[in-house]
Amino acid sequence: MFPGGGQPDMQALLQQAQQMQQQLARAQADLAAAVFDGSAGGGLVKASVSGAGELKALVIDPKAVDPEDTETLSDLVLAAVRDATAAAQRAAAEKLGPLAQGLGGGGIPGLPF
């Protein structure tokens, strides 16, 4: 039962929703600024992506470069980028999931995940 005759305190509800929106915005900004790393081929290829999904860095060990087999190198690059992106997605789910659920939403608009 709600105080005041069974009616919800709309001011308190609005204030709570506003606080949750601020927390969500802060968490989204923190996530977008964070960098997540991934690797493939036992570390021969390393990729870094932002929380917003932007590729920030790609490092390829010279041992991974075989002019006769560029297909394997391409596969390693894709795997490293996917690994880094998966790390960013996990962080987004951990950090933003509870906040988004509190706002009654499923997905979060504006995020690529």
Q: Which domain holds residue 40?
A: 34-99
Look at residue 58 and tell me if it is in a domain: yes
70 falls within a domain:
yes
Sheet holding 55-60, edge to edge: 35-40, 45-50, 55-60
Comparison of pLDDT for 93 and 37, the residue scoring more: 37
CATH number assigned to the domain comprising residue 92: 3.30.1310.10
Give the total number of structural domains in the chain.
1
- Is 23 a domain residue? no
Domain assignment present for 75: yes
pLDDT digits (tens, 9 = 90+) for 13-69: 888 888 888 888 888 888 888 999 999 999 999 999 998 889 999 999 999 999 999
Domain-located, residue 45: yes
- pTM for the structure as a whole: 0.68
* DSSP secondary structure of 68-91: T-HHHHHHHHHHHHHHHHHHHHHH
Query: pLDDT per residue over 9-20, tens digit each?
Result: 888 888 888 888
Q: What single-letter amino acid sits at 54? A: E
Facing residues of 45 across strands? 40, 60
